[in-house]
Amino acid sequence: DGQRLLSASSDGLIRIHGLQSRRSLKEFRGHESHVNSAMYGHDEKTILSTSDDGTVRVWDVPSADCIGKERIALTASASIASTLSVLDVISLPQNPEQYLIVTHSPVCFIVLSNAKVIRKFSIASSSLSIEGEGEGDDIVCACISRRGQLLYVADVTHHISVVEGFVDGQNK
């Protein structure tokens, strides 16, 4: 709306700041580690956030309450789950109710607006190499093409991958 700024912080908080007042208007508490990213949901009544604590959380903007939480892990079994640092949440242009979750691993997730995982996929098994020598190393950043058809991923070895069909499960 041009009046507020949303921020994620290393102190574990998400804040809404007033641009004119230059003050924090609201704080969202609950993450147990650094918050890596935060974005408004498609309705702007919710916020999705990702953290080094391995969670994706959904927040109700008016109340600042956490209304959804999902621990992102490589395995489904909690007893052997490997919690991942969750780097980013990216809105999927073709479906505003779904979001791409980028982890510090070769695995990405698609979640619903309530943070529930509906799909998991490995970049290593579904990518076209652009440059670099490694393949399938830990992701450091990702972005989606404007129309949402392609996922671009860079890993720690400077390898860049392009993934097609990642939303519908038809990875190419």
Q: Are 48 and 35 in contact (CB under 8 A)?
A: no
Interval 31-57: pLDDT, tens:
999 999 999 998 899 999 999 999 999
Q: Higher pLDDT residue, 124 or 164?
A: 164
Q: What percent of the chain has pLDDT over 70?
A: 84
Q: Which range, of 18-22, 79-83, 101-105, 149-153, averages the lowest pLDDT?
A: 79-83
- What rounded mean pLDDT belongs to the chain? 84
Buried b (16+ CB within 10 A) or exposed e, 137-146: bbbeebebee
Q: What global pTM score does this model have?
A: 0.81
Q: Is 159 exposed, middle or buried (0-12, 13-18, 19+ CB in 10 A)?
A: buried
Q: Provide the 10 A C-beta neighbour count for residue 101.
A: 26
- In terms of Cα–Cα distance, which of 33, 37, 32 is closest to 100? 37
